[in-house]
Amino acid sequence: MGYLDNSIITVDAILTKKGRELLARGDGSFKITQFALADDEIDYTLYNPDHPLGSQYYGQAIENMPLLEAFPDETQIMKYKLTTLPRGTAKLPILDIGYTAIRLKQGASLAITPQTLNYLGSSQAFEAGGYVATIADARLMQTYNGVGINSPESEQLNFSTTFGTNVSKTVVGTSINLTATSINSLFGTQTSLQTTITVIGRDSGARITVPITIVQVNN
C-alpha cells in the first residue's frame, strides 16, 4: 500500500471487493446512489488549539499529512464518517449494541438491537432508518439477517448469498439476527473462528465494530 502524491489534491478511486462482487452478479445491485465522507487516518490529537500562531495553524499537523491509497476491503475503509449535525453540537452520536465482544457456540443464535446515544437531542434513540450491519466473513454465519426495516432493498439483502471465499455480508434492520455456523470443515485444526461485525447508524453514521468468536462444539 503506497502513499499518494500530496503536492496537488488528486483522487484515487477503486472498486471495493464488495463492489466487484455486485458488479459480477449483474443483478442491478451495483448502482451508486449515495455517498458518505470519512476521515480515516486522521488523528485529531494532532489538532492544536494552543498553537502560538493562531487558529489558522491549529490543524497544521493534520493538513500536511500524506495519505495512503484506498483499501479494497470494504470493512477496512470508511470507518470514521463525517456527519451533518446542527452547529453547537457538543456530543456526537455513538452506538451501543450491548456487547463489547460476542462469543457464540456453533449453531447458537443471538439478536442484536443497536441504539444510538446522543442523537437528535436524545440520550438514547433508535434510528428511524435503521442500522447497517456488516459481518466481515459471511461463512461463519448459518443465518444472518436484519429485521424491522421493510423496504424491498433491505429485505433482498437477507436473501443474497455469495458462495466461496470470505466475503462480507451486509444486512439492514433495527435488529440483527445471527446464528453461528454448524459446519465443522471451516474450523480445520482450530477450535474457534473469529470475525467482526460492524454496525453503522444509517442516519447518524455512528459506528461500532465488535469481534465475534465462534467456538467449535461438534467434532
Partner 1 sequence: MALKAAGAFKRLDSEDITISAESIVAPLWSTDQSVLTQFFTSSGQVASNTGNYFYEVYQSDPEIESETSYVQVDLAYGHKLGSGSAPYDTGVVGKSPTSTIYGQYRTLIYGDEDVNFVFGTYESEGIYVINAERARYKEKLFPGSLNLTLTVGSNTLELTDNSRDVTTVAFVDGGRVYDIVSGSDGLPYSGTGFTPSLGSYGKFLPDIGIIVLNADALDATTGAGGIVLGTTLTESPNNIGRLYDAVSLGASTSLKSEETISSNYIFVRVRNGEYNYSTNPSNITSSGELRWDVMINSPQAYITTVGMYNDTNDLLAVAKLSRPLLKDFTKEALVRIKLDY
- Residue 159 is a binding residue for partner 1 (CB under 8 A): no
- Residue 175 is a binding residue for partner 1 (CB under 8 A): no
Rounded to whole angstroms, the Cα distance separating 20 from 204 reads 27
- Residue 58 is a binding residue for partner 1 (CB under 8 A): yes
**Bridge partners of 48?**
none
Minimum gap (Å) between residue 165 Cβ and partner 1: 17
The nearer residue to partner 1, 65 or 183, going by C-beta atoms, is: 65
Question: For the chain, first and last CA: distance in Å?
Answer: 40
The nearer residue to partner 1, 32 or 164, going by C-beta atoms, is: 32
C-alpha cell at 93: 452520536
- Residue 125 is a binding residue for partner 1 (CB under 8 A): no
The nearer residue to partner 1, 88 or 188, going by C-beta atoms, is: 88
- Residue 40 is a binding residue for partner 1 (CB under 8 A): yes
- The footprint of partner 1 on this chain (CB under 8 A) covers a number of residues equal to 84
Query: Among all chains, which residue has been given the C-alpha cell 470475525?
Result: 195
When binding is defined by CB under 8 A, the residue of 39, 98, 184, 194 that contacts partner 1 is: 39
When binding is defined by CB under 8 A, the residue of 2, 9, 54, 188 that contacts partner 1 is: 9
The nearer residue to partner 1, 64 or 185, going by C-beta atoms, is: 64
For the window 63-102, what string marks contact with partner 1 as x by the rule CB under 8 A? Answer: xxxxxxxxx--x--xx-xxxxxxxxxxxxxxx--------
**Bridge partners of 30?**
none
Q: In residues, how long is the chain? A: 219
* CB-based burial label for 119 (10 Å; 0-12, 13-18, 19+): buried
Between the alpha carbon of residue 139 and those of residues 16, 55, 153, 181, 183, the distances in Å are: 19, 50, 22, 7, 9
